[in-house]
């Protein structure tokens, strides 16, 4: 498990045309739905698309194209349900679900990338995808995850060192911006 966590990368390259078996897609989605959920409100839902014609219609509305060669796509939906003291934990819920799915995707030998801002900004690609998939208004489409076998290698981004981002017992004086 730790090896998968430490070696998972966002893959933005092309995908092989090899179909992803629905059994694997189900395992990936089950991993997402197994994520913790604030006050167990279970605000996250998923729609997996693996029909080539439907993928073609969805990819036609994604500009610039970010996953047009992926043989499958998981659409992450959320509903705003108040949980504790009139607070909604939908963002935390779907974030945990997405991370679980990204790890399951890599563990099963596939690649993916979390596309959220690209589809939820002013051009509202998410609404266009919702219309194609007949998703009702009470759901918000917040993310798409392409799924497939990579046609290239994921690139390791430059990361800050552990010491620059993690500490024991308190934030060191060198990190305070007074």
pLDDT reported for residue 178: 66
Q: Decide if 164 is inside a domain.
A: no
Print the domain residue range for 61: 2-151
Q: What is the pLDDT of residues 156-168, one digit of tens each?
A: 888 999 998 999 9
Provide the number of structural domains found in the chain: 1
3-state SS, one letter per residue, for 60-87: CCCCCCCCCCCCEEEEEEECCCEEECCE
Q: What is the pLDDT of residues 133-157, one digit of tens each?
A: 999 999 999 999 999 999 998 888 8
Q: Which neighbouring-strand residues pair with 75?
A: 47, 144
CB contact at 8 A, 85 and 31: no
CA distances in angstroms from 86 to 45, 81, 96, 178, listed in the order given:
21, 9, 21, 34
Q: Which residue, among 163, 159, 115, has the nearest Cα to 141 in the 3D structure?
A: 115
Q: What is the pLDDT of residues 60-96, one digit of tens each?
A: 999 988 899 999 999 999 999 888 888 899 899 999 9
CATH number of domain containing 9: 3.40.109.10
- Three-class SS of residue 81? coil
pTM of the shown model:
0.92
């Amino acid at each position: 498990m730790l090896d998968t966590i430490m070696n998972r990368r966002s893959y933005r390259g092309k995908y092989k045309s090899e179909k992803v078996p629905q059994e694997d897609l189900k395992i990936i989605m089950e991993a997402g739905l197994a994520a913790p959920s604030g006050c167990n409100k279970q605000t996250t839902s998923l729609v997996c698309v693996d029909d080539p014609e439907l993928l073609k219609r969805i990819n036609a509305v994604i500009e610039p194209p970010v996953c047009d060669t992926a043989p499958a796509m998981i659409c992450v939906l959320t509903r705003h349900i108040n949980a504790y003291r009139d607070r909604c934990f939908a963002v935390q819920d779907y974030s945990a679900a997405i991370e679980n799915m990204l790890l399951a995707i890599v563990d099963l030998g596939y690649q993916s990338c979390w596309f959220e801002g690209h589809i939820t900004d002013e051009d509202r690609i998410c609404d266009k995808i919702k219309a194609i998939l007949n998703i009702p208004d009470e759901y918000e489409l917040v993310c798409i995850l392409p799924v497939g076998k990579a046609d290239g290698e994921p690139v390791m981004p430059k990361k800050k060192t552990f010491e620059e981002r993690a500490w024991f017992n308190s934030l060191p004086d060198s990190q305070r911006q007074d």
